[in-house]
């Protein structure tokens, strides 16, 4: 199954969810960009509608997260934001809680990895205690100074049993526009479901600069690889027009199938 939908509901939550379904999409990622703005009560209402609409749902935790910060208060605040997202996600019926794990800073990649791994293990204990039905899904990142290349992310999955979010645009930017889809899909082929992000992307020597509108040229090699492998996947579009580009993806997918 291929699930397609936008990053964000595009306005008031309940109306936005209904509109996503009405235009023919079947997924959505709730965006807590700056803060976890949704109350549990609203999350329960939205969750009931999501269940009725059969939308594959995830949450993007706030961007102000650094589990490997030099400052302990920032680590505690980061963990709190992720756990708040998990609580709302439980009531929303979200499968995955997406977040950018942190920065290397002055630490080497191995030190950074261990710190982030232990933070994830600790959060998973809380998730289990609270009986929240969500999966932590650290995201592959687009800047070389930020923790989260594909191998690091998959190693986290192996050692913590968390899930992951593969952002194909980020990987493309991280490697200066070079992306080998067969190689990537070989590494993730044993997962029953893949949670992914996609969009156009602009990059520099340091990696990601900004997300761009998604072109047919961007989409074709990815969609062909997905269809070839019959991958069960959710693709959340993060372009400046996430709803429009999700519909563009849907149309192109149907075109390729014909």
Asked if residue 106 lies in contact with residue 147, where contact means CB atoms within 8 angstroms, the answer is no
Query: 192: which 2 tokens?
Result: 């029953």
- CA distances in angstroms from 179 to 130, 171, 194, listed in the order given: 39, 7, 17
Report the number of distinct structural domains present in the chain: 1
Mean pLDDT over 153-172 rounds to: 97
pLDDT at 257 over 90: no
At residue 75's C-alpha, the angle toward residues 70 and 76, to 5°, is 140
- Do strands 200-204 and 165-167 pair parallel, antiparallel, or not at all (unpaired)? unpaired
- Host domain of residue 76: 2-257
CATH code of the domain covering residue 226: 3.20.20.150
Helices (H), the chain: 13-22, 40-53, 72-92, 109-130, 150-160, 168-174, 181-188, 216-229, 242-257
The mean predicted confidence, pLDDT, of the chain is: 95
- Do strands 200-204 and 194-198 pair parallel, antiparallel, or not at all (unpaired)? unpaired
Q: What is the DSSP string of 154-221?
A: HHHHHHH----EEEHHHHHHHTTT---HHHHHHHHTT-S-EEEEE-EEEEETTEEEEEEPPPHHHHHH
Q: How many CB atoms lie within 10 A of CB 121?
A: 15
| Angstrom distance (rounded) from CA 230 to CA 59 | 25
| pLDDT confidence of residue 152 | 96
| pLDDT confidence of residue 258 | 79
| pLDDT confidence of residue 222 | 96
What are the strands of the beta sheet with 27-31, ordered from one edge?
27-31, 56-60, 96-99, 135-138
What would the pLDDT profile of 183-208 be if each residue is shown by its tens digit? Answer: 999 999 999 999 999 999 998 888 88
7 bridge partner residues: 29
| Angstrom distance (rounded) from CA 56 to CA 246 | 14
| pLDDT confidence of residue 34 | 87
Q: Which of 118, 131, 108, 198 is nearest to 162 (CA)?
A: 118
pTM of the model as a whole: 0.95
Supply the DSSP symbol for 106. T
pLDDT at 241 over 90: yes
């Amino acid at each position: 199954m291929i699930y397609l939908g936008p990053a964000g509901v595009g306005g008031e939550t309940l109306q936005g969810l209904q509109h996503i379904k009405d235009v023919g999409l079947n997924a959505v990622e709730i965006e807590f960009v700056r803060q976890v703005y949704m109350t549990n009560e609203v999350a329960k209402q939205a969750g009931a509608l999501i269940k009725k609409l059969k939308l594959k749902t995830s949450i993007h935790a706030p961007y102000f997260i650094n589990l490997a910060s030099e400052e302990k208060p920032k680590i505690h605040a980061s963990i709190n934001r992720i756990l708040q997202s998990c609580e709302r996600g439980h009531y929303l019926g979200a499968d995955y809680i997406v977040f950018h794990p942190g920065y290397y800073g002055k630490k080497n990649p191995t030190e950074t990895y261990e710190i982030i791994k232990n933070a994830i293990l600790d959060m998973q204990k809380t998730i289990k205690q609270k009986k929240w039905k969500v999966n932590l899904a650290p995201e592959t990142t687009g800047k070389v100074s930020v923790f989260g290349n594909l191998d690091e992310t998959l190693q986290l999955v192996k050692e913590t049993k968390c899930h992951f979010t593969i952002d194909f645009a980020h990987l493309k930017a991280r490697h200066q526009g070079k992306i080998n889809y067969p190689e990537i899909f070989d590494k993730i082929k044993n997962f029953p479901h893949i949670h992914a992000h996609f969009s156009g992307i602009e990059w520099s020597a340091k990696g990601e600069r900004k997300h761009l509108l998604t072109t047919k040229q961007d989409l074709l090699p990815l969609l062909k690889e997905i269809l070839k492998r019959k991958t069960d996947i959710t693709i959340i579009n993060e372009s400046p027009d996430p709803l429009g580009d999700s519909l563009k993806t849907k149309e192109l997918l149907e075109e390729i199938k014909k």
